[in-house]
A = this chain, B = another copy of it.
Amino acid sequence: MPNQLGRRERRRLEIRDRLYTAAMELILERGFEAATMDEIAERADVARATAFNYFPQKAAFLYEWGQRRRERVAEVMAAEHAEQGSAADRLRRYLAVLAEQNTANRTATVRLMDAAIRLGDALHEPSLDLKLAELVDAGRESGEFRSDVDSAQAGTLLAAAYFTAVLRWIGAEPEPFDLPAYLDGMLDMALRGLVE
């Protein structure tokens, strides 16, 4: 059966999960800088060399964190059949579900997003751009968005708005604004534009 994984693949995913969970626990307990690969491997009960095979550097856990969040958004949207709405609704829902993952665990977001920014990954790494660009492109093709919109650049603009909003939101205690509402405002502005 095609979606039944072989024993080796299951074992591989299980080790990967264990390492990821151990890394997240340690980063949350002590911060990204303080958590070491040795400790992560030890807590996951995996040999050090094996740990490095799965995650060649600590920053790889941040990448995995981002990827898992995007997968989670896709799952939520699929469960809601949210892929079927207008392009604007899909963009709105995509950002809202991402935002919910930040607000559901602010401490984790502070620790991990801050590290991701400092390592440059969140901003250089274009995964979110590409996903948002894809949603914009669908709206362009259906005629909902202007035909002369550059989807890639629109994806970058929306991702930039998202990361900046989250950075500001984690940058002050207590939280300086309601993140989902703020992102909604950003999206409205990008959809409607500034010009009267």
Asked if A156 and B145 make an inter-chain contact with CB atoms under 8 angstroms apart, the answer reads: no
Asked if B144 and A196 make an inter-chain contact with CB atoms under 8 angstroms apart, the answer reads: yes
21 CB-based A-B contacts, threshold 8 Å: A117-B120, A117-B123, A118-B118, A118-B120, A124-B168, A143-B196, A144-B195, A144-B196, A146-B192, A153-B182, A153-B189, A156-B164, A156-B165, A156-B168, A157-B164, A157-B186, A160-B163, A190-B190, A190-B194, A191-B195, A192-B193
Closest approach, in angstroms, between the C-beta of A107 and any C-beta of chain B?
18
Is A27 on the interface with B (CB-CB < 8 A)? no
Is A161 on the interface with B (CB-CB < 8 A)? yes
Given A156-B168, A164-B159, A149:B194 Cβ within 8 A: yes
CA distance in complex: A167, B164 (Å): 13
Asked if A145 and B191 make an inter-chain contact with CB atoms under 8 angstroms apart, the answer reads: no
Which residues of chain B have C-beta atoms less than 8 A from A185's C-beta?
A: 150, 153
Is A154 on the interface with B (CB-CB < 8 A)? yes
A interface, size bucket:
35 or more
Within 8 A of B (CB), among A117-156: 117-118, 120, 123-124, 136, 139, 143-147, 149-150, 153-154, 156
